[in-house]
A and B are shown apart, each in its own frame.
Chain A
């Protein structure tokens, strides 16, 4: 059965591109366009991996991770941060909150996102 990835991202074009790329790679993709939706979606969908943006309306990525920490079921889902800024303070906090990996959008190509995903959960 195809592995399920939850993509929490507010930028529509990024969502479109990543969804297309991940689907092509054979993953099952669920979508959420902000943090609040993301929490609901991860409870409902029980994804194998979460791709998480940091700056989003309603609830940001770091707050989402804080919420996940409180819930043992959500806590064990691996998270890869997909962020716009590479501020060390953000990355540091994300790492402390259990992020497995992170990438800065301007510095990586979509193909490298796939590589990181494969790295975490395999095909």
Chain B
């Protein structure tokens, strides 16, 4: 070997050593675990990253079978025994690395065949990339996605369920709505076709409903009045006649139903009832019911006419008979023998009963008269009482009753009443006191002005009303047992009429009584029976 050659060789050796060092440094520096394996799968070289990853020192690793380094070693053996690695340049495979500590680490393995300068197969290069963190990340991501997907699926299911539930609810609501609608239509049909006129004012006094009958009663064509306040109805408005009645009803003390009669035109009469509607004690408005009573009025008038006619037609001959018989009995028309006299007396009594019957007929109409008040005038009550007392003075004298009228010390304010009816009421009470008080008895009539009205008391020391019969005193055709014995001609209608009249004036009538001791009747009439 020449010196030249030796020098060159030396130089080449140096270069090689340098290269080897370089490679060693590089492989030590690389964070990727790299190893070389001979054709039989035995480890021949590893770098430091390989030692770090596997935990094996170089001395422990070299000569180790590579497939033993994997938990799935069979896959590695299959891979290298197949020829695919030889044919392809580089292959990548996911493997489970079995490190010294026994832990398994997922790795991505790159493998490629090594060849010498002659192209002869001499083994493999293997690089192992620790993908444990990636795997963990991936797994956790996957888990999260799965969880989220589960959540979403659950939520979706829940939503679907609630949607179904909601649809059911909606269906129920719709059914209920349809039922309500049907009910409303039914109610509206009833209201529209009702034979009475109906108007409804809401709590603000606005007209919110008027049915067709009410429209036809008042000859209203349009619906312009709907939504208008009571106070907005002009004097020209067709509903004007109602305005006063509704106002009266509001001022009245009656809490439930207020009734007033309305004479719209000749022979047309309406009974107007005002009902204050409340729901849970809250006022929701007032309902006005207009009932056509024209026919009833005609019947009533005919009845009154009939009774008046019968009273006159029957009473004329009855009084002629009465007077004739009386004069016969008194001997004014010549002497009658005792036998004849007895017959005439019996006939006279029969005639008296007939007269009482005719009077009953009159009283029956007076009952109905007590129900409605026609002509209310503002008047003092004292002259009414005096009138009644003076109209009874013959009877008082006949029965030798000591009647005292105790007048109020201070003048009593006027009241607005139907004079004729109130007089009838007072008459019935005083007349009863006189009728059912024995001869020589005492009747005191007192008039008092009170804070909100007048009060009249009529007390007697007469026969009184038996306790067990006191409840029925104001009922129609009632007469107490002792009263029937005392006076045979009473009709049992007087106090019924009186109660009707007093209550029609928003007043009250009551009594205290003790059988055998006497009775006191009281009644009151408020000052403002109507505005």
Give A contacts to B, CB under 8 Å: 11, 13-14, 17-18, 20-21, 24, 55, 84-85, 88-89, 91-92, 95, 105-107, 109-112
Question: Which residues from chain B contact A85 at a C-beta distance below 8 Å?
Answer: 308, 311-312, 315, 362
Given the contacts A109-B323, A110-B326, A110-B332, A84 and B315 also touching, CB distance less than 8 Å: yes
Given the contacts A24-B332, A91-B391, A11 and B326 also touching, CB distance less than 8 Å: no
In which size bucket is the chain B interface? 20 to 34
Question: Which residues from chain B contact A17 at a C-beta distance below 8 Å?
Answer: 320, 323-324, 327
Question: Which residues from chain A contact B326 at a C-beta distance below 8 Å?
Answer: 109-111
Contact across chains for A13 and B312 when beta carbons are under 8 A apart? no
A17-B323, A88-B427, A105-B322 given; name 6 further pairs at CB < 8 Å. Answer: A11-B320, A24-B332, A84-B315, A85-B308, A105-B316, A106-B355
Give B contacts to A, CB under 8 Å: 308, 311-312, 315-316, 318-320, 322-324, 326-327, 330, 332-333, 355, 358-359, 362, 387, 391, 394, 420, 423-424, 427
Of the candidates B311, B327, B427, the one whose C-beta lies within 8 Å of that of A84 is B311
Shortest Cβ distance from B259 into chain A, in angstroms?
24
CB nearest neighbor in B for A115: B394
Given the contacts A11-B320, A85-B311, A85-B312, A21 and B427 also touching, CB distance less than 8 Å: no
Contact across chains for A84 and B312 when beta carbons are under 8 A apart? yes
Question: Which residues from chain B contact A106 at a C-beta distance below 8 Å?
Answer: 315, 318-319, 322, 355, 358-359
Contact across chains for B320 and A14 when beta carbons are under 8 A apart? yes
* Interface of B, helix, strand, loop or mixed by DSSP: helix
Shortest Cβ distance from A56 into chain B, in angstroms?
11
Shortest Cβ distance from B7 into chain A, in angstroms?
169
Give CA–CA (A11, B322) in the complex, Å: 13
Shortest Cβ distance from A12 into chain B, in angstroms?
9
10 contacts between A and B (CB under 8 A): A13-B324, A17-B327, A20-B333, A84-B311, A88-B423, A88-B424, A105-B319, A106-B358, A107-B355, A109-B323
- Which of B320, B333, B355 has its CB near the most chain A CB atoms (within 10 A)? B320
Contact across chains for B420 and A84 when beta carbons are under 8 A apart? no
Contact across chains for B312 and A111 when beta carbons are under 8 A apart? no
Give CA–CA (A21, B326) in the complex, Å: 11
Shortest Cβ distance from B501 into chain A, in angstroms?
12
Contact across chains for A11 and B324 when beta carbons are under 8 A apart? no
What are the 5 closest A-B residue pairs judged by CB atoms, nearest first? Answer: A105-B319, A13-B320, A106-B355, A84-B315, A109-B326
Give CA–CA (A88, B422) in the complex, Å: 11
Contact across chains for A21 and B327 when beta carbons are under 8 A apart? yes
